[in-house]
Amino acid sequence: MIMFLCVFMISLVIVRLLIAATNYFSFAYLPVVANVTGAPFVSILIPARNEEENIGVLLKQLSQLKYGKLEIIVYNDHSTDNTESIVTQWIAKQAPIKIMNGVELPQGWLGKNYACHQLAGQAKGDILLFLDADVSVNKDIIERSISHLQKHKLHLLSIFPRQIFKSFGEKISVPLLNYILLSLLPLFLIRKSKSVIFSAANGQFMMFKANTYKTLWPHESFKSHRVEDIAIIRMFKEKGLASDTRLGDNDISCRMYGSLDTAIVGFTKNIFQFFGDSKLVTVCFGLVTTLGPFLIYFYLGAGWLVAYVVGTLSIRLFVSLASKQPVVQNILLAIPQHLVFLFIIIKGLINNKQRKILWKGRNILQD
């Protein structure tokens, strides 16, 4: 039994290494050269709740983009900081920006999902682009995205922005997102395969054909889903609607969390959804990746342990390269990153038992 488990652990590392290498060598970014047909009108839709540190930066960047056929709508979701006044200041500069002040959240809805649904109802574009307020965009990201959408006749395009982390707490937590994603899912299969198993999306950047969105109203379909982005792309694939997910380069980035505490809270609310919404699979993955080195050393010897460690670090190498993250830093911080991962799993189990996950002042795990 133990020998079988050791073989399984080694096989898992090999498979994850192959997936990580594939994601790196397949160059999973948007094409650099954009070829937009017809210059469709784009609605950029931004849900914002207490985003005074980010919203002004994003609106400045959007106002400097070369693509001219767009509108920008911000949904101010009961912010208690200066979010509304910052948006109003940008409107006064005659930028193509509108603001929607949030209404009372209806029963059964999560805040961001309702904000996105409301924004879509006001949007006039041929293309709807949902952007989180903490995303940074540059150069021709809009043209590149539209070009990719048109070329492959996509109904949904999502991007994982290049993640920015500055504090030590961010460095031992934020890289976990791509470490899990890019070692378990070959991104090219999201578009190439019809199977919903190969599904991933990021709500920080989701671009839809407006006609498709307003036929399905996906945020309403998953109004109480904590990881609505993955649920939406799964639904699109089930319906045979071409979808794709790319990695971000220097044209799109995000500082997702500003500290270890906020990163833990953020990842805890959706850690199980990373593993197919299965607590059992999540816990098993955590146990296998934790106990692997010890069991292999005691039952197979030091030689196999070295091979196992080299394989594990090689996974981090390819994931870091594909994610445009510091390679040496991620390798050196592999152990503390893994400890944070285990803590997130434990905290997630506790929160699910207590039926309480607070995010931006709201309990998003209430019945």
Residue ending a domain, among 256, 277, 299, is 256
- Is-contact 246 29, C-beta < 8 A? yes
Residue ending a domain, among 234, 256, 278, is 256
Within 8 A by CB and 6+ apart from 294, the residues are none
Structural domains counted in the chain:
2
The helix-helix angle for 279-300 and 2-25 (nearest 10°) equals 110
pLDDT tens track for 89-113: 999 887 789 999 988 889 989 999 9
- Is-contact 133 57, C-beta < 8 A? no
User: Can you give the pTM of this predicted structure?
Assistant: 0.91
pLDDT tens track for 214-234: 999 999 999 988 889 999 999
What average pLDDT does this structure show over 104-129? 94
Residue 354 has a pLDDT of 73
Same domain, 218 and 348: no
Sign of the dihedral through C-alpha 200, 206, 210, 215: positive
Average model confidence (pLDDT) for the chain? 91
Within 8 A by CB and 6+ apart from 276, the residues are none
In a domain, 65, yes or no: yes
Same domain, 160 and 200: yes
* Domain extent for 149: 42-166+185-256
Tokens of 238: 């089930």
Same domain, 235 and 328: no
Same domain, 102 and 56: yes
Sheet arrangement for strand 205-209: 97-101, 70-76, 42-48, 127-131, 205-209, 156-160, 243-247
